[in-house]
Structure 1
Amino acid sequence: MARNPTATKEKLLDAFDTLLDEHGTAGATLDAVAAKAGVSKGGLLYHFGSKAELIKGSLERLDQLVDEDIEEMKAAGERLHYYYLETSAEVGTPLDRSLIAAGCLALENEKAKAALRKTREAWFNLLNDHLGDADLAMTIQLIGDGMYFNQNFGLSQDEALDHVKRVLTRLGL
C-alpha cells in the first residue's frame, strides 16, 4: 500500500501545533512531535528536517487557512462583517489551532509575529473594503478579538454575539 506523504505531513503539523498549545515551544521537540504523530523520528526528519522546518510548515499552513477564510468571508457578501464576528468565537477548527500555534511561536519567533500581523492585516483590509470605514472595521475586528479571547479561555457569554448584532443593526449594518 502506497503512503500518502501529504497526509503524513499534515499529521506531523497537527502534532506540532497541538504540542505548542499544550506545552509551548520547549515541549514541541522533534521527538515529541514524532511520538504524538505516531511517526518515527526518521519519518519526521524526511518531511521536516528541523524544528525550523516544522515552524515554517506550520506558518505556511496558517497562511493557507487564512486565505481560505478570506475567500469564505468574501462569499458572505453583504454579511461579511457578520461572518467575521460569527466565526471569531469558533474554537477547535484548523484555523483556530493554527492561530494558537502561531501565538505560541510568536513569543520567541519573529516570523510567527509577522505571520500573525499579516493575518490581522488581511482581515482588517477586507473588513475596511467592505465597510468603507477604517474606524468601524477596526472596531469590528477588536470585537471579534474579544469574542475569540473569551471563547478560548472559557469566558464566553452565550448572548455576546446577539448583543453585538443588535448594536450593528442600530448602526444600520
Structure 2
Amino acid sequence: MTTQPSARERVLAAYEDLLINDGPRAATLDAVAAAAGVSKGGLLYHFKSKEALTEGLLGKLAELAAVDFELMANDPEGCASYYVRTSVFGGTVFDRCVVAAMRLAQGEDSTVRAAFLAMHATWYRLILEDIGDPAVARAVMLLGDGLYFNAALFGLPTDAKNDGGTQDAVDVQSLLAVVRQLRSSVRA
C-alpha cells in the first residue's frame, strides 16, 4: 500500500517542479499552491513565506545530501569513484532537489549558495580522505561536476556506443578508470 504524500510534501514537490520547469519568478506562492492542489491558506500553514518555502527546500536538500554523504563514505570502490559514478543526472529525488536549488542559486539568495558550498565542502573532504592529494581530489570533483553539468544541461546518455567523433554519450566506465589511475598515481 502506497501512502499519499502529505500536503507539505506536495507543496515542496510543486515548488521544485516550478523552479525546474519555469524558474524562480514563476514559483509564486499562488502558483505553488495551485500546482500542489492546496489552497493558499494550506500552503501558508506549512510555509509562511516564499523564504520559508526555500528553507523547506534547503532542509530537504540537506537531508538528502546527508544520505548521499553516508553512501559515499561507505562505497566499496571509494569516495572518488562514487562521486564520479553518481554525477550522472538520473532524475532521482536528490537530483531534482539539487536542480531546483540550483535555479534559486542563480539569483541573489546567499542561503542557497551557502547550502551548496557546505555540500561541496563535504564532498571534497570525503574525496580528499580517499585520494590523499588536494589537487587530485579537486580534479576528481571537477570531473564529476562537469559530468553532472553536461548530463543535466544536455541530457547526454551514458555508456552508450559513441560513434567516434561526436559526443553522443558519456562513457562513465572510462572516467572511472581515469579515477583509478589518478588514485594509483598518488599512492605510488
Q: Same fold (TM over 0.5)?
A: yes
Alpha-carbon shift at residue 57 of structure 1 (Å): 0.5
Letter matched to residue 130 of structure 1: D
Q: How does 1:139-154 map to 2 (within 5 A)?
A: 139-154=139-154
Letter matched to residue 128 of structure 1: L
Letter matched to residue 45 of structure 1: L
Aligned partners of 1:84, 1:168: CA distance in 2, in Å?
Answer: 10
Aligned partners of 2:130, 2:177: CA distance in 1, in Å?
Answer: 19
The number of residues matched between the two structures is 170
Alpha-carbon shift at residue 169 of structure 1 (Å): 3.5
1:120-164 CA-to-partner distances (Å, cap 9, x unmatched) read 111001111121111111111100011101111225353431221
Letter matched to residue 38 of structure 2: V
Alpha-carbon shift at residue 7 of structure 1 (Å): 2.2
Give the match for residue 170 of structure 1: 181
The question of 1:136 aligning with 2:136 is answered: yes
Go from structure 1 to structure 2 and tell me whether the alpha carbon gap of 1:114 and 1:10 turns closer, same or farther (over 3 Å shift).
same
Give the match for residue 76 of structure 1: 75
Normalised by the length of structure 2, the TM-score is 0.83
* Structure 2 unaligned spans of 5+: 157-167
Greater share of residues in helix:
1
Q: Percent identity?
A: 39
What RMSD, in angstroms, separates the aligned Cα atoms of the two structures? Answer: 1.9
Question: Any idea what SS the aligned residue of 1:88 has?
Answer: coil
Go from structure 1 to structure 2 and tell me whether the alpha carbon gap of 1:34 and 1:152 turns closer, same or farther (over 3 Å shift).
same
Q: How does 1:1-173 map to 2 (within 5 A)?
A: 7-106=6-105, 107-154=107-154, 156=156, 157-171=168-182, 172=184
